[in-house]
Structure 1
């Protein structure tokens, strides 16, 4: 089994970002918000509602942008 080179991985990532920029942005925002939520809970901080709101907004945005790309 041949592993892909770093160049081909970078080209694939660039093509994905070029074709689906909003989807990548929503996924990144949701991932950062989820990671922040986990870290804040680990530190026993007061429950931060903004992390949950960003995750829900990113999820909805990702879903709607994927549907709009799929239907066109």
Structure 2
């Protein structure tokens, strides 16, 4: 039987082989969610996929808007 590593399903791995971008990636997501306005579409209704864990079947569409007053690149 082929066994996968126990941390294989952890997003940044684990143990001595943990991803070096763990803290940077977490900080980037934190800042993005903190500084941007994020919502789901007004008419959105979640449909659950309970295959292994309950997750949105459609990936959960999110609308992400830049902060008010943010300049255009």
Q: Same fold (TM over 0.5)?
A: no
Q: Highest CA radius of gyration, 1 or 2?
A: 2
Query: Between Structure 1 and Structure 2, which shows a larger proportion of helix residues?
Result: 1
Between 1 and 2, higher relative CO (CA 8 Å, sep ≥ 6) is seen in 1
